[in-house]
Amino acid sequence: MIRYTLRCSKDHDFESWFQSAEAYDCLLGAAQIGCPVCGDRSIEKTLMAPAVRPARKAGDPAPKPKLSEPTSEIEAAMAEMRRQVEANSDYVGLNFAAEARRMHEGTIDQRAIYGEAKPEDARALIEDGVPVAPLPFMPRRKAN
């Protein structure tokens, strides 16, 4: 993939990605590239600065962060919150809205639960006075 900075004949600058330089030439020749501002098909490449990464010192590779470890205080706090929620609540999955509603109505015993709900179901729970709150993390089964 290659990114070009382009300009139309009306001086609108924009960027676009292409599979290769040949693909850009082919699309330009077929008038398939248009300005996103005005639709002009008279396009030319402009000067671009290459993306250059700074050099590393030889023999001193930068340490790679471990993805399983928090890298900031916020990430550590969120990891602790997840641990507390998972240790002290029952995961009810996609049944969250139904379980929360049944507890609110007194049909089943109160207990700490967490799970997943469609936005419209969560909104309906809130409108009906059911005490719910979104969590700042995805369930582990959906996390990569």
Sign of the alpha-carbon torsion through 98, 99, 102, 104? negative
* The predicted structure's pLDDT at residue 74: 87
> Taking the model in full, what pTM does it have?
0.51
The total domain count for the chain is 2
10-residue mean pLDDT profile of the chain (144 residues): values are: 91 91 92 90 85 68 71 87 93 94 95 93 94 85 55
- For residues 132 and 80, membership in a common domain is answered with yes
34: domain range?
A: 2-45
* The predicted structure's pLDDT at residue 28: 92
**Under 8 Å between Cβ of 40 and 10:** yes
Residue 130 lies in a domain: yes
Q: What is the DSSP string of 91-117?
A: EEETTHHHHHHHHHHTSS----EEE--
Residue 112 lies in a domain: yes
- For residues 83 and 33, membership in a common domain is answered with no
Residue 52 lies in a domain: no
What stretches of 2-129 show up as alpha helix (H) in DSSP?
21-29, 73-88, 96-105, 119-127
- For residues 39 and 77, membership in a common domain is answered with no
Give the three-state DSSP class for 40: coil
Residue 127 lies in a domain: yes
* The predicted structure's pLDDT at residue 68: 73
* The predicted structure's pLDDT at residue 58: 62
* The predicted structure's pLDDT at residue 138: 80
